[in-house]
Amino acid sequence: MNQVSNDPPVPQANILIVEDEQGPREALKLVLSPYFNLYTVDRAEVALQILATHPIDLVTLDLKLPDQPGTDLLSNIREKGHEVDVVIITGYGTLQSAIEAIRHGVAAYILKPFNVSDLLEVIKKALEQRKRLTSLHGALQALGNLWASGIDAQTAMTNIETLLGAKHPELLQHASRVNFYSSLLTEHLQLSKEDREAIQLGAYLHDIGKIGIHDRLIAGHPSLSDHDQELMDCHPTIGAQFIRTLPFHPAVEQIIRSHHENFDGSGFPEGLAGDQIPFPARIVGLANVFDNYVTGQGIDRAMPVPEARENIRQEAGKSLDPQLADLFANVVW
């Protein structure tokens, strides 16, 4: 009789279990010990000590701890710069705690009692995603070093296309179009060659924070649940954090962080308005909106170019910079 293989999802990964109740803690140890190296603690203070001294790959975190709420520990983990995935496992879940967890980039939010197969699958996917992101960050670091040393823009863009194409072809297609529409604008603006090239690179990388998010979310379905929408709305912040330490032009991070800010202050993640929004981000943000119009991304239907162009005019002073909207409507045909 054939036996079902139950090989470890990622051999020798180090998992920190943060759980104050002995029963759930022992249950997690029983489930995870065949596959991972485990550390178990019952307080937030000790968890931070372990994270500071051991190479932890993933944390399972209960939200109810004796010395501080799990959400506070999650904030501390991020503030201290620990690059570790977190899976919330709690019997005290609320919508507010789920939203707060999503904003801090947790890999999953699981309610007790948990399903063993589901938990193992979540952890497997989180660790595999972390491996992909580490690889991506290394590739971007190498490209950033080349950029800083004076690599020509065309070579840089070719490298970015190869990198994005390998990670997520749909994001590459969208990024290429947004880069094209951004270029239409920059050709009619008084910008230096360096600034134009930085905007090109930022256009390619504006959605880098979506890498690793489930494909059905990246597809931009117009009727996402509130939970899924909260996750998607985190991608500018995640992307900016991801690229912050890389040696690119400052405009690249500005574009990634602020391309969903609206001119009237109704956008995200910071609710910036008018000139508070970096100019490169206003350019790429407009190009992103236009591409969504003509492809139907995140809306009910794709629009013909004349209708999309008219919508750009109507959004002047609302979601879009009015001067850029007017210029774009005059140059795109």
Q: What's the rounded Cα separation, in Å, for the pair 184 and 107?
A: 38
Contacts of 195 (CB under 8 A, 6+ apart): 186, 249, 251, 280
Question: What was the pLDDT predicted at 213?
Answer: 60
Task: Quote the tokens at residue 165.
Answer: 């194409």
Q: How confident is the model at residue 323 (pLDDT cuts 50, 70, 90)?
A: very high
Q: What's the rounded Cα separation, in Å, for the pair 187 and 166?
A: 30
Question: What was the pLDDT predicted at 251?
Answer: 95
Mean pLDDT, rounded, for 149-176: 75
Query: Is the confidence at residue 7, as pLDDT, over 90?
Result: no
Backbone angles phi, psi at 239, to 5 degrees: -65, -40
Which residue intervals of the chain are DSSP H helices?
Answer: 22-32, 44-53, 70-79, 95-103, 116-148, 153-167, 169-186, 193-205, 215-218, 226-232, 235-243, 250-258, 279-295, 305-314, 322-331
Select the more confidently predicted residue: 231 or 161: 161
Query: Is the confidence at residue 24, as pLDDT, over 80?
Result: yes
Mean pLDDT, rounded, for 160-172: 73
- The pLDDT tens digits of the residues spanning 256-310 come to 999 999 999 999 999 999 999 999 999 999 999 999 999 998 788 899 999 999 9
Query: Is the confidence at residue 64, as pLDDT, over 50?
Result: yes
Mean pLDDT, rounded, for 184-210: 92
Among 39-48, 132-141, 249-258, the minimum mean pLDDT is found in 132-141
Among 100-104, 158-162, 249-253, the minimum mean pLDDT is found in 100-104
Q: What's the rounded Cα separation, in Å, for the pair 85 and 104?
A: 10
Q: How confident is the model at residue 223 (pLDDT cuts 50, 70, 90)?
A: low
Q: How confident is the model at residue 1 (pLDDT cuts 50, 70, 90)?
A: very low
Nearest in space to 62 (alpha carbons), one of 78, 50, 79, 44: 44
Mean pLDDT, rounded, for 242-249: 84
Centroid of chain to Cα 307: 31
Q: What's the rounded Cα separation, in Å, for the pair 213 and 123?
A: 15
Query: Is the confidence at residue 26, as pLDDT, over 70?
Result: yes
- pLDDT above 90 covers what percent of the chain? 44
Cβ(119)–Cβ(110) below 8 Å: yes
Mean pLDDT, rounded, for 134-158: 71
Bridge partners, residue 90, by sequence:
111
The span from the first CA to the last CA of the chain, in angstroms, equals 66
3-state SS assignment for residue 175: helix
Query: Is the confidence at residue 127, as pLDDT, over 50?
Result: yes
Question: What was the pLDDT predicted at 5?
Answer: 45
Among 81-85, 107-111, 210-214, the minimum mean pLDDT is found in 210-214
Among 23-32, 51-60, 243-252, 323-332, the minimum mean pLDDT is found in 243-252
Contacts of 218 (CB under 8 A, 6+ apart): 168, 170, 171, 210
Domains, the chain: 14-129 (3.40.50.2300), 152-331 (1.10.3210.10)
Q: What's the rounded Cα separation, in Å, for the pair 255 and 157?
A: 16
| Mean pLDDT score of the chain | 84
